[in-house]
């Protein structure tokens, strides 16, 4: 009669790495002390267990699939894994100790730019995610059913304001509202039909709407076919430490820029 471990052995056979998601100290030590041939990688908000190999998880994803994809992409960014590698992911689905193992084959398509966007931007990762999700929802639903374009500049708001000018009255001038609030997100979607960029602080405060960005576009290289909104987003991130998230009205894609370069391009329907 076969043992259960024999029947489930295929889950961990031929793996190159074991990813421990937010492990306790004792759970990590079990793997560290075992002197495995496989690489052990800790994926967590902080390296509290002093792991030799660590991938930062700046956000706690409720969805296990998203958490794993994010961790694997972070490992790809650090060259800890490569396409074709098989990874066993130890995760916590319910309360208590890790209680699930997921087998993942690494694919180059997992390198989406999401990890770089969330983990390496100046603004708080939760702020980046909130703004990104507003852009994604706008891309899916549009404004009253019609496609709409939008430009969100997140972080380094002081410099961004100095390199831009108002196109109209700033509805957020005397307010203290932040992205992530459902009511504020509705306001963002409503104002997106008007010209200009939204400027958002590192902490998520809505600093301004209707801003005309004025950085020089010389030397900014963006893919052919992208228009003024994308050029402005790329240029402002070259001249500041901000991140620009742009929704294209023409093709419906969401793109992100940092340091004057495009780091992400995604179809909202596939996110």
pLDDT at 167 over 50: yes
Contact, 133 vs 67, CB < 8 A? no
pLDDT at 10 over 90: no
pLDDT at 6 over 80: no
pLDDT recorded at residue 145? 77
DSSP 85: -
Q: How far is CA 154 from CA 64, 145, 160, 198, in A?
A: 27, 26, 9, 8
pLDDT at 12 over 80: yes
Strand partners, 212: 165
* 174, HSE (Cβ side, Cα atoms, 13 Å): 1
What's the rounded Cα separation, in Å, for the pair 64 and 57? 13
Residues found in the chain? 271
3-state secondary structure at position 191: helix
3-state secondary structure at position 61: coil
What's the rounded Cα separation, in Å, for the pair 271 and 252? 13
pLDDT recorded at residue 213? 96
pLDDT at 152 over 90: yes
Q: How far is CA 226 from CA 133, 148, 175, 233, 236, in A?
A: 21, 15, 33, 11, 16
pLDDT recorded at residue 96? 81
Q: What CATH class is the domain 115-270?
A: alpha beta
What's the rounded Cα separation, in Å, for the pair 44 and 21? 6
pLDDT band, residue 35 (cuts 50/70/90)? confident
| Domains in the chain: boundaries | 4-111, 115-270
Q: How far is CA 10 from CA 4, 18, 38, 228, in A?
A: 11, 14, 15, 52
Q: What is the CATH number of domain 4-111?
A: 3.40.1380.20
> Tens of pLDDT along 220-261?
888 888 989 999 999 999 999 999 999 999 999 999 999 999
> Tens of pLDDT along 91-133?
999 888 888 999 999 999 999 999 999 999 999 999 999 999 9
What's the rounded Cα separation, in Å, for the pair 53 and 182? 38
What's the rounded Cα separation, in Å, for the pair 233 and 95? 42
Q: What is the pTM of this model?
A: 0.89
Mean pLDDT of the chain: 92
CA angle 74, 252, 133 (to 5 degrees): 45
What's the rounded Cα separation, in Å, for the pair 247 and 151? 6
What's the rounded Cα separation, in Å, for the pair 105 and 16? 10
Q: How far is CA 4 from CA 11, 15, 42, 152, 191, in A?
A: 12, 19, 27, 52, 58
- The closest alpha carbon to 137, from 119, 152, 115, 122, belongs to 152
pLDDT recorded at residue 2? 58
Of 55-69, 103-117, 182-196, the least confident = 182-196
pLDDT band, residue 1 (cuts 50/70/90)? very low
- Other residues' Cβ atoms within 10 Å of the Cβ of residue 92: 17
């Amino acid at each position: 009669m076969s043992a259960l471990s024999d029947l489930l052995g295929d889950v961990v056979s031929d793996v190159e790495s074991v990813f421990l998601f937010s492990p306790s100290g004792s759970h990590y030590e079990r793997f560290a002390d075992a002197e495995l041939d496989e690489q052990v990688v800790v994926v967590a908000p902080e390296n509290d267990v002093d792991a030799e190999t660590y991938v930062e998880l700046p956000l706690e994803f409720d969805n296990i699939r998203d958490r794993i994809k994010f961790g694997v992409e972070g490992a790809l960014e650090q060259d800890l894994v490569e396409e074709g590698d098989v990874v066993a992911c130890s995760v916590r689905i319910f309360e208590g100790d890790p209680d699930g193992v997921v087998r993942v084959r690494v694919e180059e398509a997992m390198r989406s730019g999401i990890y770089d966007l969330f983990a390496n931007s100046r603004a708080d990762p939760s702020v980046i995610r909130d703004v990104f999700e507003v852009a994604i929802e706008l891309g899916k639903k549009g404004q009253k059913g019609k496609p709409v374009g939008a430009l969100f500049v997140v972080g380094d708001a002081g410099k961004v304001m100095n390199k831009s000018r108002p196109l109209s009255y700033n509805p957020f001038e005397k307010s203290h509202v932040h992205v992530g609030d459902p009511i504020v997100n509705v306001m963002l979607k409503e104002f997106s039909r008007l010209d200009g960029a939204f400027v958002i602080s590192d902490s998520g405060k809505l600093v301004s709407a209707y801003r005309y960005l004025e950085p020089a576009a010389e030397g900014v290289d963006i893919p052919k076919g992208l228009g003024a909104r994308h050029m402005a987003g790329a240029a402002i991130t070259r001249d500041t430490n901000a991140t620009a998230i742009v929704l294209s009205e023409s093709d419906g894609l969401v793109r992100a820029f940092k340091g004057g370069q495009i780091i992400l391009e995604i179809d909202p329907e596939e996110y």
